[in-house]
Structure 1
Amino acid sequence: MSPQTPSAACRWDGAPRTTHPRRPLRVAATSPSRLLRAGQSSRCRRCGNRIDWYQRADQRPIALHPTELPAVQVPASCRWHLSCGIAHPHGDGSAWCRIPHTVLCPGRTPTARISLCIEAARRQLAVHSRRLIDTGAFTPATPPPVSEPAAGSGRLTRPVVQMLLGRYIAEQPIEDIRCVTQTRHRHRCPKPVHAPDRPGGRWMLLPACRPQRGQLTLPDGLMAVYDLGHQPYAEQLRWRTQRCPAHAAVPGAPDLALAGWQVFDPLLHSEYIKTDLPVTPSGRRTEA
């Protein structure tokens, strides 16, 4: 009796082997967010616990605790709910709600009185953080000192960009801003937003603030701004959504990461206000 070699289409006992084809992640056409949930979970830099990133209605990111908590045990100011992938800062009438991770993070000091349920959740996260630290799986991050290059000696590490009638501060230099779209291989696009074959912005010295009626006194003087206001609306929108020219031409392309823009505030971001224009690759300063 000769042994029979099982077919690749069958298991060792002769049962048929069923393989489910991998389905690509897609974003619904009616979704207000183009962000894929895959890849939006990370670890808190202070405690090492898991956090889930979501977009708010104003497109700003927020880190929420992965699990829901009873709404009756969470203060009304800490209740969040999700609708169509967007986080909203209030309850939706259900018995459960989401809560920002900053409220539960054991690496932060509570700024308001918290309930017993939240205090118990904080203790659980603190125990888990201690286990991660003891096993060497997590090391608390220490914020590095903010260091900018000398005036006129190089590029700005966090430049201020003017586009769509507003100002935003970037997370990295202009040349290093990377596309956030997902490629066909389910990885983040490696191409930069700044395309060499397209006319980019221009460095200008503009007023540091725009005075408004009833506004507090803000920093006065001129500051270096990367101005995109002279570009067409479509080009400014491409920068705001942080997409390379190839993916900007694909309206349905999903995003795998959040755009790294923050609304510029002269008071909160005063340390990034620079009064000298950076040096361009050609070695000269440009000003319109």
Structure 2
Amino acid sequence: MRTTPTPTGRHWDGSRRPTRRPRPLQVAGTSPSRLLRTGQSGRCRQCGNRIDLYQRADQRPIALHPTELATPHVPESCRWHLSSGIAYPHGDGSPWCRIPHAVLCPRRTPLCRTGPHLDALRRQLAVHTRRLTDTGAFAPEPAPATTQAADSDADNPARPVVQMLLCRYLAENTIEHIRCVAQTRHRRRCTHPVLAPTAPAGVWRLMPTGSHRGQLALPNVLMAVYDLNHLPYSEQLRWRAQRCPQHAAAPGAADLALAGWQPFDPLLHAAHIRTRMPHPPGRHLKGR
């Protein structure tokens, strides 16, 4: 007796199996943010709860709680709203608003005074963190070592300072490992680095730290900066968008992650200031 295999489009009893065609995601050409909705969700590295990542008006990322809350329950200083994919730090007049995850994260100290409703939500997130930890689905990050010890190799800064478009940014990774954020045809994040061997590269220079916002930040010492200001304007835009040359030529491709640049602040990022040039020099490490 031979068994008849069940068709792939039907269940074991012969009934039709419903099929759902994947709906492609698209980004409007007029949208100020190129980030797909699928790339905005993530997990907090400290508590494991879900967060939504958005860009602010100054292009810095912020992690928001994934659900809206009633405006009366949220302090005025912690109210955020979204407009065209950009997060703004105030309410929009509606009865609902968003709140930064840092206010509710059970492993952080609240940034503002919380009420009974937010305290209850914070306890729920703490219970969920405990469940994730007990089941092995989440492992809290170990306490980071001192920045000086973790980043003590001045010859290869883990988070270098990059200058482009007449501004300075703190990179999230070494120059060689800054990865493209664009989405490929297979709906995955591109694996190519931004530093391409066929594209012009920046040069390491020793530049003064300078002051910040008119204030005396630090002694005006020389610091190692990966300078891109001598590159063509289009190349600097490509670096700022954190895209490889292939996806820079395809502006219709959406992003699956936020660019990892942070505006460099000599006060906040003093631990990442390096006073020696990287060594050994490579093709992109040579100064002029």
Contact 1:179–1:188 at 8 Å: present in 2 too? yes
Q: In terms of mean alpha carbon deviation, does 43-52 or 128-137 score higher? A: 128-137
Aligned-pair CA distance for 1:139: 2.2
- Aligned partners of 2:284 and 2:173: how far apart in 1? 21
1:273 aligned onto 2:273: yes
Provide, for residues 39-60 of structure 1, a one-character-per-residue CA deviation record: whole Å limited to 9, x for no partner: 3222212222111111111211
Q: What secondary structure sits across from 1:38 in the alignment?
A: helix
Query: In structure 1, the residue corresponding to 2:39 is in which secondary structure?
Result: coil
Alignment check: 8 A CA contact 2:31 2:84 kept: yes
| TM-score, L = length of structure 2 | 0.90
Using the TM superposition, give the Cα deviation of residue 9 of structure 1 relative to its aligned residue in structure 2, in angstroms. Answer: 5.0
Tell me the residue number matched to 1:185.
186
Q: Name the Cα RMSD after superposition.
A: 2.4
Report the residue type matching 1:83 in the other structure.
Answer: S
State the Cα distance separating 1:6 from its structure 2 match: 6.7
Q: How does 1:19-34 map to 2 (within 5 A)?
A: 19-34=19-34
Does the Cα contact within 8 Å between 2:203 and 2:284 map onto a contact in 1? Answer: no
How far apart are residue 148 of structure 1 and its match? Answer: 2.5
**1:72-87 matches, cutoff 5 A:** 72-87=72-87
Shift of 1:12: 5.6
Percent identity (aligned): 64
* TM-score of the superposed pair, with normalisation by structure 1: 0.90
More displaced stretch, 178-187 vs 217-226 = 217-226
Q: In the alignment, which residue of structure 2 is the partner of 1:156?
A: 157
Q: 1:219·1:266 contact (CA, 8 Å) conserved in 2?
A: no
Quick one: distance in 1 between partners of 2:284 and 2:10? Answer: 68
1:154-203 CA deviation, whole Å, 9 max, x = no partner? 32111111000100010111011000001011111000000111220001
Aligned residue identity for 2:194:
V
Aligned to 1:91: 91
State the aligned residue count.
Answer: 284
CA distance in 2, matches of 1:115, 1:37: 31
Contact 1:277 1:286 in 2 (8 A): no
Equivalents in 2 of 1:135, 1:106: separation in Å? 18
Q: 5 Å matches for 1:55-204?
A: 55-145=55-145, 146=147, 147-151=150-154, 154-204=155-205
Partner of 1:236: 236
Residue 207 (structure 2) pairs with residue 206 (structure 1): yes
**For the residues of structure 2 that align with 1:81 and 1:68, how far apart are their CA atoms?**
9
Task: Give the secondary-structure state (helix, strand or coil) at the position aligned to 2:240.
Answer: helix
- For structure 2, the residue ranges without an aligned partner over 5 or more in a row are none
Q: Compute the displacement of 1:149 (Å).
A: 4.5
Query: Are 2:206 and 2:275, in contact at CA under 8 Å, matched by a contact in 1?
Result: yes
Q: Would the alpha carbon gap of residues 30 and 4 (structure 1) be closer, same or farther in structure 2, given more than 3 Å must change?
A: same
Over 3 Å counting, the alpha-carbon distance change for 1:283 and 1:193 in structure 2 is closer
8 A Cα contact 2:206 2:277, kept in partner: yes
The SS at the match of 1:121 is helix
User: Cα–Cα, structure 1 residues 65 and 221, in superposed 2: closer, same or farther, change >3 Å?
Assistant: same
